[in-house]
Amino acid sequence: MTRLTWLPRIAVAALAALAALAAVWGAADVFRVRAELILDQQGDVIRTPLTKDRIARALEAYALAQRVDGRRPDLLAGLGDMHAMLVADAPPWDAEAKEHRRAALDYYRAAIVRRPSWPHTWANLAVIKFRLVELDREFLTALERAAALGPWEPEVQKTVADLGLAAWDVLPEETRAQVRASLERGMRRQGETMVRLALRHRRADVVAPLVQNDNRLAAVLKAGVARHAPPRPAPRASGAER
């Protein structure tokens, strides 16, 4: 009976701890929501064109949220996204771009440690590694984990296909198999996108077997290959000029 008298105290302590945790999460969410308002973001969709100023202000809001609660993987991933978006169009050799991409890489790594099951974070890490021109084992792992964890996520399919086709020459066979599988799944709902990615990276040979039974996609592929074909040399005169 004596032991039971401790139960109310334990319950009160547990409720207090939960209340404190909820307060921390609530305060962090205030800044996270502010970042989404700055970005004009609804769900995963950003509704208006972004400027560097808006991204920088959203980055500040995410940084404040992360200071309140540094353990949340969504906030870490959000910080990574902001650093990546700030220099999305910058070339690999740009010094400022390298700095932001290194920061994004660190945040994505930290987010993955806390929640390794998020395919989008793995995909974003692979994008950053590609833009840093670091096609190493970490890049391959990120590409493979994204494909394995988000097999039916349209954005993940596009990212895996885009990066995989761009880096095809350096991919080991096991990673190529993951990219092929992602392309094949993508053909079911966004086949034309998959074909156009293959054409952009001049990898029609990779997707050709996947469109054999789809006349429309086969026609898109054939037309794209024809457009990218080198011009034929002009016919030569039959007789040598003197």
Tens-digit pLDDT profile for residues 47-82: 777 788 888 888 888 888 888 877 889 989 999 999
How many Å apart are CA 58 and CA 81, to the nearest integer? 10
Quote the pLDDT of residue 64.
83
Taking 70 as the pLDDT cut, the residues of the chain under it are 1-28, 30-38, 41-46, 229-242
Q: H-type helices in 115-230, by residue range?
A: 119-131, 137-149, 154-166, 173-200, 204-207, 215-228
How many Å apart are CA 177 and CA 119, to the nearest integer? 18
Token pair of 88 as six digits: 């999305």
Cβ within 8 Å of residue 128, ≥6 positions away: 80, 84, 101, 104, 105, 108
Quote the pLDDT of residue 231.
64
Pick from 171, 165, 232: which is nearest to 203 by CA? 165
Token pair of 32 as six digits: 């996270």
Element (H, E) at 42: strand 41-42
How many Å apart are CA 164 and CA 200, to the nearest integer? 12
pTM of the model: 0.81
Quote the pLDDT of residue 228.
77
- Is-contact 132 98, C-beta < 8 A? yes
Pick from 126, 193, 189, 199: which is nearest to 163 by CA? 126
Cβ within 8 Å of residue 186, ≥6 positions away: 154, 157, 158, 161, 193, 194
Quote the pLDDT of residue 49.
78
